Structure 1
Amino acid sequence: AEAVRKGAGIPTRAVGLIDDPKQAEAILGDGRADMVALARAFLADPRWGWRAAASFGEEIRPAPQLARSVTTMQHWMKAAG
Structure 2
Amino acid sequence: RLAHMPPRMQRVVTSITKHDWFKDYETINGVGDALDNIADRIRFANQFTGAAEDIKRHYNQLDAAFLAFFPELIAHVKEFNTERT
Q: Which has the higher contact order (CA 8 A, sep 6+)?
A: 1
Larger strand fraction of residues: 1
Larger Rg: 2
Larger helix fraction of residues: 2
Give TM-score, length-normalised by structure 2: 0.28
Give TM-score, length-normalised by structure 1: 0.29
